[in-house]
Chains A and B, each alone.
Chain A
Amino acid sequence: MKKSLFVGALAATSLVAGIAQAQTLQAVKDRGELNCGVSTGLAGFSAPDANGVWQGFDVAKCRAVAAAVLDDPMAVNFVPTTGQTRFSALASGEVDMLARNSTWTFTRDIDLRLTFVGTNYYDGQGFMVNRELGVSSATELDGATVCIQTGTTTELNLADYFRANGMSYEPVPIETNAEAQQQYLAGACDVYTTDVSGLAATRASFENPGDHVILPEVISKEPLGPVVRDGDKEWEGIVRWTLFALIAAEELGITSANVSELAQGTDSPEINRLLGSEGDLGAMLGLDSEWAVRAISAAGNYGEIFSATIGDQTPIGLARGLNAQWTQGGLMYAPPFR
């Protein structure tokens, strides 16, 4: 009797807890601010500019969600997280979403109970070395000292790669990209390994980027994407479809310049549904019909964000490659807005 009462009380409280957790959207609206977990500073992806305003590819994603939900792209509180703290910060509710080059893996999805809403950057792990070393391939790295951010998938890939190739290495575990950069430049490690995009971004901030080469081997698949807590379908939907809205906008030719004009109504039903002049997709998300218009106006569509933050024209200089639209031979593919 006593036991069943206890279990009953437990079930009741856990039900309450479950409901409380499912209300991220309401919590964000009440707070008037989106708590977005980002990296501690990776040029091009998420880093504060000279005025202390966060800028970058991942940051733009946070701003788009804030614009869709709160009608203010600047209403974002950026929480810098390290490779070790990010998932705890998300699980504990410290942040509402993570936009922090986190790799979508089986165990993170299933065992860690995280929900990856999609992929906003298809990446792979690479190696950067000083040109002076004369190394042209990762297979020549036997015995090298390797700087690595702890708590990342790259740490595991690195162990696998060197083991599979019968090579030894000396790992130097490091917490943040900034520390890794400092150690690498001081020569405390021969090699810095992380996602190729991260290597390019880091190299761009060097005094002499030309002195460093990124080796041709890409040793892993690293689909990076925004992450939310498990068990909140409503919030998961908002973050997921905001990402898809940005990707679809590029495909459909909607840019930050013409979005308000197209929102008046066009001949394309798909654009109309996306921008809310037809149907009620916004209401299904728990938002109003203009949500996608605001998300796209915040920083532009996926292509605009890419080229403004990490693309060819920026110091980071990443090509679209796998991240081009599916119509251009890439992997960016948004499901239909219907």
Chain B
Amino acid sequence: MSSVTDDRTSSAAPKKGFRLSMLLYDQRYRSVTIQVFFLFLLMLGAAWLIDNTVNNLRALGKDFSFAFLTAPAGYDINQRPIEYNSQMTHGRAALVGLLNTIILAILACILATVLGVIAGVLRLSNNWIVSRLITVYVEVFRNIPTLLWILIFGAIMTEAMPAPSAFRGDDPAASMLFNDAIAITNRGVYIPAIHFTQDLGSIRIGPVAPSISWLLVIVIIAASIFANKKLIEHATRVQNATGIRPKTWWKTILILIAPITLYFIALGAYLDYPELRGFNFAGGTHLRNSLIAMWLGLGIYTGAFVAENVRAGILAISRGQTEAAYALGLQPGKTMRLVILPQALRVIIPPLISQYLNITKNTSLGLAVGYMDLRSTLGGITINQTGRELEGMMLMMLIYLAISLTISGLMNIYNSRIKLKER
């Protein structure tokens, strides 16, 4: 009824013709006027920024060019996921930094998720001590800036661990762990590395050349997981049809472990143990202090936020769901795993995306402990050596933006897959 009257009044207005003052006083035009005005201001601001940049670059006698990316970098990088030496280009150095950023982001995201889910569930535990301990963890870690945690972990690694020279001599002050497999020193942790006696060489994909042997490892693991998923689905179908779930545990173990084991045996895989040689340990894989400090700092810090997300997600599921599950005879563990968490994930995933993005962006704190990420290579040394602040910063912002959008895109796909299907 009321909409009919509205239509009448609004249809009457245009007959009076258009006056300029209507842009401001007529409700129909006002919002457009305001939007156009602010758009104009925004464009003016952008134009001023660009003009200012162009002028200042001219005043400094600098041009705008990305040619520096093809010039030799001249500096070394300690953590090199791909082949790199100081004679390679600044672009290559930036790529090494980018890969280091991604490695750190993935490691920290995994740690934060694992810690966060465990802590989030345990914080709701009925056990008073457990829930209080987790409360202490969450509150302590999330209320102290992440940079401080990174510096603390860095300082612990540098100051409290023994120097490699302490492992030397007949009666060394420090010894390696696990039957001389792992050495924890003040220069990082050395762990055994897996090498192949019959290496399959490497394949060149654009600027990187990953090892074929390791690519196949990933393929085999992915195939095993896929096959196992099919097996479980089959078991569920049988259970739905007959009411009896076939035993799958030994098949699962076989599917997951046998192919990769056979592959390792076929290629003659062996463990390369770290050993003290010269100034440092050689052989094995070197996890540098900077990586460990960043990994623990970011992972444990963000884990506290994830824990709160998980707790919020669980609390969002009504108590009735738990009670219904109990009434069906499900044990508490199964109730959590099969009833509560799948529903809670819908609440947990969206804020979890933000936390993953935070971790990725916070990797740029790497410089504080000398972690050679994108910020330290392209945004640090390269900019400093070439004087291309504007180009370097813009490129870096673009790359971080691209990484973040990719992460949030992937997580959104995952989110839409697990969210409540409304039909």
Interface size on A, residues (CB 8 A): 49
Binary A-proximity of B49-77 (CB < 8 A = 1, otherwise 0) = 00100111011111000000000001111
CB distance from A156 to the nearest CB of B (A): 5
B186 within 8 A of A: yes
| Contact A151–B384 (Cβ < 8 Å) | yes
Question: A296 CA to B318 CA in the complex, in Å?
Answer: 81
A175 within 8 A of B: yes
Question: A164 CA to B54 CA in the complex, in Å?
Answer: 41
A322 within 8 A of B: no
Of the stretches B3-11, B276-284, B324-332, the one at the interface is B276-284
| Contact A150–B78 (Cβ < 8 Å) | no
Residue of A nearest to B68 (CB): A111
A79 within 8 A of B: no
| Contact B381–A143 (Cβ < 8 Å) | no
Contacts of A83 in B (CB 8 A): 384
A163 within 8 A of B: yes
CB distance from A65 to the nearest CB of B (A): 22
| Contact B279–A190 (Cβ < 8 Å) | yes
Question: A107 CA to B90 CA in the complex, in Å?
Answer: 15
Of the stretches B101-109, B207-215, B385-393, the one at the interface is B385-393
CB distance from B419 to the nearest CB of A (A): 44
CB distance from A165 to the nearest CB of B (A): 13
Question: A287 CA to B113 CA in the complex, in Å?
Answer: 65
User: For chain B residues 372-423, which have a beta carbon within 8 Å of chain A?
Assistant: 372, 376, 380-381, 383-387, 389
B199 within 8 A of A: no
CB distance from A277 to the nearest CB of B (A): 39
**Pick the contact of B376 from A88, A150, A189 — CB < 8 Å?**
A150
Residue of A nearest to B159 (CB): A186
B86 within 8 A of A: yes
B311 within 8 A of A: no
Contacts of B381 in A (CB 8 A): 84, 150-151, 155, 173
Binary B-proximity of A184-210 (CB < 8 A = 1, otherwise 0) = 001111100000000000000000000
| Contact B78–A170 (Cβ < 8 Å) | yes
* Chain A contact residues: helix, strand, loop or mixed: mixed
User: For chain B residues 272-328, which have a beta carbon within 8 Å of chain A?
Assistant: 277-280, 282, 289
Question: A141 CA to B386 CA in the complex, in Å?
Answer: 29
Q: Which of A13, A113, A142, A150 has the most CB of B within 10 A?
A: A150
| Contact A143–B384 (Cβ < 8 Å) | no
User: For chain A residues 1-32, which have a beta carbon within 8 Å of chain B?
Assistant: 10, 13-14, 17-18, 21
Contacts of A132 in B (CB 8 A): 165
| Contact A230–B61 (Cβ < 8 Å) | yes
Question: A229 CA to B56 CA in the complex, in Å?
Answer: 13
Residue of B nearest to A85 (CB): B384
Residue of B nearest to A132 (CB): B165
| Contact A84–B78 (Cβ < 8 Å) | no
Contacts of B78 in A (CB 8 A): 170-173
| Contact A173–B59 (Cβ < 8 Å) | no
Residue of B nearest to A170 (CB): B78
CB distance from A177 to the nearest CB of B (A): 14
A283 within 8 A of B: no
CB distance from B52 to the nearest CB of A (A): 9
- A-B contacts, 9 of them at CB < 8 A, read A14-B55, A84-B383, A111-B386, A133-B165, A143-B279, A150-B376, A156-B74, A158-B76, A173-B376
The 6 closest A-B pairs by CB, nearest first: A151-B384, A112-B387, A187-B163, A159-B86, A143-B278, A173-B370
Given contacts A170-B187, A187-B165, A231-B61, 7 further A-B contacts (CB under 8 A): A17-B59, A84-B383, A155-B75, A156-B86, A170-B78, A188-B289, A189-B187
